[in-house]
Amino acid sequence: MTVKQIKVFAPASIANLGPGFDVFGLALNELGDILNIEKSSKKEVKISLSGLSNNIPIDPTKNSAGVVLLNMIKREKLDYGFKVEIKKGIPPGKGLGSSGASAAAAAFACKELLDLQIDNKDLVEIAAQGEAAVAGSAHADNVSPSLFGGFVIVCENYDFIRFDAPEVGLVIVMPDLFYENKTKLARSLLPEKVDLKDAVKNIGYASKMVASISLGDPVLFGRSICDNLIEPHRAKMIPHFKEVKKAALDAGAYGCSIAGGGPSLFAVGNDLLSIGKAMQESFGEISSEIYISKPNNRGAHKL
């Protein structure tokens, strides 16, 4: 068998973006995972890790990229397997789509490496199944922007709508907090029912956010980052959340909320470094890192 390989980059992402729980996702510039995948003669998946890989399993049944590759072997009835080197550029467990980026990179790599004629909707579903191995559910609000870049609206049955994101500056503050099974924990905090008035508010802010993307208006985008449904519950797992958010808004941020399932917070504004430092100081005794970014409109691609 002729050995073939491919090297792929997939960007980090922020899901929810305030009012768009399990629906909105935004790809981030620069921050991402690099996967080098090659065919192997044995019908198995072997994983090696480097970079920001703490607490990430190499067992392919428990690794988002590994699950994608195992499923691809079954789906395409392959008589061979894969070796994959994962260079993690996204810190796991911080709400920046770490497992989603690895899953997206693996799905994209398989399509290219095997020359598969599958549509984008199927590609999202393949990647989402990898997410399910880590997050407990096959949600697509991280894998979609990691695959295709930009701002993505995720619909039922892995349908999605993608827009180029406007030139908007974001600052992400990542506190030194770690939770076992963080995504499952974050989902366990959510209520089964919500008040109608809160749902209506979220619909309004979500509509404003989509309008801001269509208009290319970064200020309107930032001011649409308001969430009355999810944020109040997930804030309980983030120490000093109220103080950090207030510090961001007082420092000039247009909006601030939890990145994905947390514990990172993100804000949109102009003087991003000042906003980030104010947020960082408000975490008090908890150390944190600041990352300044903007949207990535390219998505997964070969290197």
- Distance, CA of 65 to CA of 127 (rounded, Å): 8
Split at pLDDT 50, 70, 90, the class of 68 is very high
Say how many residues make up the chain: 303
Structure tokens at 227: 């969430």
Who's near 197: CB < 8 A, 6+ residues apart?
A: none
- Distance, CA of 71 to CA of 122 (rounded, Å): 13
Active-site residues: which are they? 131, 183
Q: Which alpha helices (H) appear in the chain, and where do they start and end?
A: 64-75, 98-113, 120-135, 143-148, 182-188, 196-215, 218-223, 231-234, 241-250, 272-282
- Distance, CA of 223 to CA of 40 (rounded, Å): 50
Which numeric CATH code is attached to 170-293?
A: 3.30.70.890
pLDDT in tens, 84-128: 999 999 999 999 999 999 999 999 999 999 999 999 999 999 999
pLDDT in tens, 232-289: 999 999 999 999 999 999 999 999 999 999 999 999 999 999 999 999 999 999 999 9
Which CATH architecture describes the domain 5-164+296-302?
2-Layer Sandwich (3.30)
Q: What is the mean pLDDT of the chain?
A: 94
Is the model's pTM score more than 0.75?
A: yes
Split at pLDDT 50, 70, 90, the class of 189 is confident
Q: Return the percentage of the chain with pLDDT > 90, whole number.
A: 88
pLDDT at 1 over 50: no
pLDDT at 54: 82
Q: What angle do CA 47, 110, 67 make, to 5 degrees?
A: 45
pLDDT at 211 over 90: yes
Domain spans in the chain, listed from the N-terminal domain onward: 5-164+296-302, 170-293
The mean pLDDT of 63-84, rounded to a whole number, is 95
